[in-house]
Structure 1
Amino acid sequence: MTQISILGCGWLGLPLAKSLIAKKRYSVNGSTTSENKLSILENAGINPFLVKLESESVSKNINSFLAKSEILIIDIPPKLRGNNDDSSRKGFVEKIQNLIPFIEKSTIKKVLFVSSTAVYGNENELITEDTIPNPETESGKQLLLTEAILLKNKNFETTILRFGGLIGEDRHPVKFLAGKENLENPDAPINLIHQNDCITIIEEIINQSKWNEVFNAVAPFHPSRQEYYTQEAKERNLVLPKFSSKKSNIKKTISSAKIENMLSFQFKLDAY
């Protein structure tokens, strides 16, 4: 049985761990930063660990969390301080840099880093993995720097998984857009991915041993923001969002052709 450590058992990490355990081929060490959540992990069959990454230190039990695992999945978002300065960006990067020596001396041989298509910025083109990243947000800048640090390390193999906007049964951007007015970029295409597809893609990367790769993961479904969110609001009986009449210059469409071809993966489009 293969043991996997998941750093960050949150919105995606927790159901991912449950799905892996259900396959009966994996045991999972899972981390949380909340003591109250340890029992939730344990009740799900996950070996629970309280792990906190700081820019200056790492929790003492990090070695136990990594021990005997072959694969590490890193699924923790950059924590922003509300400003766009270098110290904010370095905080997340330094956390990963502090983690790396512990990975190097552990049994970990493969690392999967959950990143974001935010590393590409808003170029008006079809975006593939060959597109040169140009992040415009602070989060995108942090993630791109972290990707580079992991990819250049020769002590383990790293695959980067760049997800689009995350949606699921309990998470959808239309809930925050409902009733709002003068929303920008009405004709910009959406680039979303459902939680279930996220989990299946990660499992297939592991099953098929697709390491030392960079993948975009966005459903091949790109209606305009106005079309999509208006329809979603109608179906959920929410107040319709109102969009600006000003046309958008953003035409960024993320291609997941590589992941579809290399993994023989099909997105469940009825979930969108």
Structure 2
Amino acid sequence: MTQISILGCGWLGFPLAKALLKEGFSIKGSTTTAGKKEMLENAGINHFPIALEVENFTSPVTPFLDGSETLIIAIPPKLRGKNKDYSDAANNSFVKKIENLLPYIQQSTVENVLFISSTAVYGEANEVVDENTAPSPVTESGKQLLEIEQLLLANPHFKTTILRFGGLIGEDRNPARFLAGKENVPNPDAPINLIHLEDCIGIIQKIIATQTWDTTLNAVAPFHPSRKKYYTQKAIVENLVPPQFNDEIPSVGKTILSDKLIRLLDYHFTQLDL
């Protein structure tokens, strides 16, 4: 039985862990919330209370990785904290946290690392984007995600695949509620770049099944109507107040392609009607 460690059993990591358990994998999962221990263990997941630190670790990282062939890093950067101007970013550096984790991975049985990143690394531009497009992040989280991608890909002790997800939606992330009732919403003509939780899990399962390592993949559903059309329709369907967009300022927004993922994994998106 192959063992997988999932760092971050949250919105994505927990249902992913349950899906991999059904495929016969043994799963070690981490959370930073003590109340989730029982939830994970009841699902058959070996729980480890791990919190990434900028300084020295006090968490049980070594036993969490021991015996696992694959590590999935599925934790959001959480850089802002209480400071919306990112003034606390250095003290809460996601890059430093991953740097501190690297020696533990190198000394473990882990051969493959799957890092959940974001299309935020591309920044914003009116262009069609694929994996050959040079990243140009504008947000602090995007900048740190890109730096972590480069750190992991350059490490010779394990193989890394970077998975850049678009906007995440699912059962408890209803896109109809994202912008409903808001006014003066920018970029009405910009395309959407979303992906459903079911496809997030399906793609990760496919990467593991096909052993697709040492690559970078965009993961966005091939469905790109304008923001105005999409969010207006979603609000109407849910009987919510449609957002009011600002049509006076030119829209800025990229279209993200997942053609490489579809080709390499022979993957068929199951959730196209987002």
TM-score band w.r.t. shorter chain: over 0.9
Which residue is equivalent to 1:47?
46
Query: Does structure 2 conserve the Cα–Cα contact (< 8 Å) formed by 1:194 and 1:271?
Result: no
1:77-114 Cα distance to aligned partner (Å, 9 max, x none)? 11223333595387110000000000000000000000
Gaps of 5+ in 2: none
Query: Does structure 2 conserve the Cα–Cα contact (< 8 Å) formed by 1:90 and 1:142?
Result: no
Which residue is equivalent to 2:168?
166
- How many Å separate the matches in 2 of 1:188 and 1:174? 17
- One-letter amino acid of the structure 2 residue matched with residue 60 of structure 1: S
- One-letter amino acid of the structure 2 residue matched with residue 13 of structure 1: G
Which residue is equivalent to 2:4?
4
Which residue is equivalent to 1:111?
113
- How many Å separate the matches in 2 of 1:59 and 1:172? 37
Query: Does structure 2 conserve the Cα–Cα contact (< 8 Å) formed by 1:183 and 1:242?
Result: yes
Which residue is equivalent to 2:17?
17
1:1-24 Cα distance to aligned partner (Å, 9 max, x none)? 110000000000000000000112
- One-letter amino acid of the structure 2 residue matched with residue 198 of structure 1: C
Q: How high is the TM-score relative to the length of structure 2?
A: 0.95
Query: Does structure 2 conserve the Cα–Cα contact (< 8 Å) formed by 1:29 and 1:47?
Result: yes
1:154-192 Cα distance to aligned partner (Å, 9 max, x none)? 000000000000000110343131111110000100000
1:95-137 Cα distance to aligned partner (Å, 9 max, x none)? 0000000000000000000000000001211100000000011
| Pair 1:185-2:215 in alignment | no
Q: How high is the TM-score relative to the length of structure 1?
A: 0.96
- How many Å separate the matches in 1 of 2:71 and 2:58? 16
Which residue is equivalent to 2:75?
76
1:59 Cα shift?
3.1
Residue 123 of structure 1: which of 122, 125, 144 is its match?
A: 125
Gaps of 5+ in 1: none
Moved more, 170-179 or 67-76: 170-179
Number of residue-to-residue matches in the alignment: 271
SS at match of 2:178: helix
Query: Does structure 1 conserve the Cα–Cα contact (< 8 Å) formed by 2:199 and 2:271?
Result: no
Moved more, 221-230 or 247-256: 247-256
Which residue is equivalent to 2:63?
64
1:271 Cα shift?
4.2
